[in-house]
Structure 1
Amino acid sequence: MQHVDIAIIGGGIVGLTLAAALKDAPCSIAVINKHPLVVPLLDTPSPRVSAINQANIEALDSLGVWQFVQQDRVNPYKAMHVWDKDSFGDIHFNCDDMGNDSLGVIAENAALVNGLAESVMQQANVTIVTQSIERMLVGPSQSMLMLDNNDAISCRLLVGADGANSSVRKQANFPITFRDYEHTAIVANIQTEHPHNNVARQAFTPTGPLALLPMANPHVCSIVWSQTPDAASKLQQCNDDDFCHALTVASDAALGNVSLQTSRHTFPLTMRYARSWAKDGVVLVGDAAHTIHPLAGQGANLGMQDALALADTLSASLNRQKDIAQHRYLRPYERARKTEAVKMIAAMDGFKFLFDGNDPVKKLIRGVGLAATDKLTTVKQAFVAHAMGL
């Protein structure tokens, strides 16, 4: 039997960010993940990427993590171009508007996890456990985790950082609200005829948004093409040539003709929101607490901010010698981050409603809105600051 103060279930971006942010905290931590945290990166970049904003990059840098991230697997993007395919709406954002070198980076998820893991494994207060959990007994004063190698871990605080289908959330009986976005995301890497020039592009089409995310290779982008289930099904049934032709048309040939560099993967999109994020002995972070539409690329950023906020709350309790597992001391984190998640969910719902379909009134509104915003420097700077997490 091993006892730790905090057991973090899930060794992804969010769970490891939390562990890294607690590096100086006077507590013992176990990070439990069923697969090895560090995995070899393939020669061909993975299409599973995240847009990490400037605020989170600075946070990782201040924690000493960023130096461990393989830099040829993260690519700074310097501008964004967003347009509505079926109206005159068009807007450009540039890092120069904020006096920064970039708006953020497009990072391969595996490269970011590798860097976080290599940093966390050097922490004296962290134990990495690579096992599956066979059984979980969640309690207000102590939780017990039975592993598949017959070992057991007890903890004072159990942290669910185990994703959208969180077993911690289920075992702790946190109720959730969920809604089908009626979109399926198609994810792949593409080779482009023209260089992307480190510009992140997003085209809103009647059946859903298409994001073109610039990778380190100037002629490679990762795509996230969110479509209605019927449209996504038809695209998945296309051969590669027909799919690439449809993609070129949907993107208004912004990067010329394209070809597939990886296979295509699909993911149904669902909004989830845990109505409670904490109780005595248990707390949720990241996708375990909320999932949102990827159209603004803010899912990973929201989860990382959860982790950093929770680390601040736990560190404050430890410094005051308070019980980190009592709900009353977890409430500041829960209140603050639930508010941010609700605002982001509402914003994504609003964008999705406004940019869905061919309704002529909505087309006029979004066309005028995008065109007007592009001319209003102050409003544009506010959008850029929000995208950068500043």
Structure 2
Amino acid sequence: MSHAKTPEFHTIVVGGGMVGAALAAELAQSGHRVALVEVQPPGAFDPGGDHDLRVSAINRAAQRVFQSLGAWEGMMALRAHPYQAMEVWDAAGSGRIRFEARDLAEPDLGHIIENRVVQRALWDRLEQDPMVEIIAPDTLMGLDVRRSHAEITLASGRRLKALLVVGADGARSRLRELAGIRVNSRYYGQQALVATVRTALPHEDTAWQRFLSTGPLAFLPLGDGRCSIVWSADDARAEELRDLNDEAFCQALADGLDYRLGQVLETSRRAAFPLRGSQAEHYVRPRVALVGDAAHTIHPLAGQGANLGFQDAHALVSAVCAPGVTDAGELRVLRRYERARRGDNLIMMRSMEGFRYLFGSEQPPLAALRGLGLNLAHQVTPLKHLLMRHALGLGEHRT
């Protein structure tokens, strides 16, 4: 470091969810002294307890990062399930596409893991790391950016200094607000209903997704034979589904998936989340950076939200820990991260909006186009393999 007086921390990470915890662990592994501030630390994981309603499809790129951090074994030991195939089809037409891991000579297409399992395994790793100080429960209250460092004030009254402060504090990021970064947000007029269900037929270690005119329905395979469902539906339909009794909801689910897994025999409690797409106007300011939902949110229909956040974290570490970088908070350094991620994230967000529009339309020409596109992608092997590699995170950005 070239500074006469280096602050107590290289980096302060605000938010210890999945992405913030992964970022803190990667920074610490790269030699940064890190403070992690989190309002609600994760509790102990009960392997005999019920599945969390929030799960993520963790791709190969994220898996490799977790392996390098020594956190992957912990996730596998808690609860995770690899899936071998994915099948997508259109309720309004004949289009379908199926991806299989064996087509790429891969062991699986990814793992379905509860969000709290990812977070817990990363925290177990962080709690052992002498380069990390966990400050929890505590809340960010103030931000003061100076020329040589940034200072934050916490609800506890504690003040921390660092070269860089990173917001991993979610879609309503307090750091983003304090840094004066505006966000462009649009409400999609849809809600995602989530639940855990048991089906009459086995899920075959396959992720199933059917596009309905009111929004996509996904069944994601879990290790105990059940499925985690995500039903993204227009507001009116979502409220209708939310208010059904369990028996009627199970019937609607089976019908929604066209009985591909037979009857739905039982469901857990349900939760609903409003769906928004958002992009921060800037991912960086001098001494400030945003990652994950603090920087962007997208429609969940491709299940890529968490993976995009892990890619953000990895790209930020690559930028601030690059050879020759002496000040992680310098704007020219942080702009490398912004250039690496903002364009990609914007393309992903717009693509998901395009898919949603294309598959939400009942106009016959669009239905025909959808069917043609899905069937073409299914039959053209190089295109199909390209799509699979992208979903696995095995594109040009290898970790």
Using structure 1 for the length normalisation, give the TM-score. Answer: 0.96
What is the identity percentage for the equivalent residue pairs of Structure 1 and Structure 2? 39
Name the counterpart of 1:5. 10
Which of the numbers 365, 369, 376 marks the counterpart of 1:372? 376
> Are residue 112 (structure 1) and residue 128 (structure 2) matched?
no
| Deviations 1:359-388, CA, capped at 9 Å, x for gaps | 111111001111122111111111111111
Q: CA deviation at 1:133?
A: 2.0
Is 1:233 matched with 2:239? yes
Map 1:1-390; keep pairs closer than 5 Å. Answer: 3-41=8-46, 43-71=49-77, 73-133=79-139, 135-141=141-147, 142-218=149-225, 220-316=226-322, 319-390=323-394
Q: Which deviations, in whole Å up to 9, do the C-alpha atoms of 1:135-173 show, x marking residues without a partner?
A: 212314333333333322222211000011100111101
Show the counterpart of 2:3: none
Distance 1:230 1:15, change over 3 A: same
Secondary structure of the structure 2 residue equivalent to 1:100:
coil
Moved more, 154-163 or 258-267: 258-267
Q: CA separation in 1, counterparts of 2:30 and 2:201?
A: 49
CA distance in 1, matches of 2:359, 2:77: 35
Matched residue count: 386
Deviation at 1:70, TM superposition (A): 4.1
Within 2, Cα distance between the matches of 1:348 and 1:360?
Answer: 21
Equivalent residue letter for 1:89: G
C-alpha deviations, 1:300-342, integer Å up to 9, x for none? 00000000110111111xx425211111111111111001101
Are the structure 2 counterparts of residues 234 and 22 from structure 1 closer, same or farther at C-alpha, using a change threshold of 3 Å? same
Kindly indicate whether the alpha-carbon contact (under 8 Å) linking 1:52 and 1:107 is maintained by their aligned counterparts in 2. Answer: yes
Is the Cα contact below 8 Å between 2:199 and 2:261 reproduced in 1? yes
Q: What runs of 5+ residues in structure 1 fail to find an aligned partner?
A: none
CA contact (8 A) 1:136 1:143 kept: no
The CA distance in 2 between the partners of 1:54 and 1:384, in whole Å, is 11
Instruction: Name the CA distance, whole Å, in 1 between partners of 2:274 and 2:385.
Output: 33
Hey, what's the Cα distance between the residues in 2 that align with 1:37 and 1:128? 12
- TM-score between both structures, scaled by the size of structure 2: 0.94
Please give the per-residue CA displacement for 1:156-192, whole angstroms capped at 9, x wherever unaligned.
Answer: 2110000111001111011111111121100110011
SS at match of 1:60: helix
**1:113-147 alpha-carbon deviations (Å, 9 max, x no partner):** 11111112222211011032252123143333333
> Counterparts of 1:321 and 1:381 in 2: how far apart (Å)?
37
CA–CA distance in structure 1, aligned partners of residues 266 and 134 of structure 2: 37
Q: Work out the CA distance in 1 between the residues paired with 2:183 and 2:167.
A: 14
Query: Aligned partners of 1:248, 1:226: CA distance in 2, in Å?
Result: 15
SS at match of 1:324: coil
In structure 2, the CA distance between the partners of 1:217 and 1:327, relative to structure 1 (3 Å rule), is same
CA contact (8 A) 1:187 1:222 kept: yes
Deviations 1:205-258 (A, max 9, x none): 01000010001112x000110000000011111111111111110100111111
Aligned-partner Cα distance in 1 for 2:208–2:74: 28
Aligned amino acid, residue 350 of structure 1 = G
In 2: Cα distance, 1:150 partner to 1:22 partner: 25
Deviates more, 1:342-351 or 1:76-85: 342-351
Q: Which amino acid is the alignment partner of residue 197 of structure 2? A: I
Taking the aligned partners of 1:97 and 1:138, their CA distance within structure 2 comes to 52
Q: Per the alignment, in what secondary structure is the counterpart of residue 213 of structure 1?
A: strand
Output the CA distance in 2 between the equivalents of 1:65 and 1:366. Answer: 40
Task: Give the drift of 1:72.
Answer: 5.1
4+ residue stretches of structure 1 with deviation over 4 A?
A: none
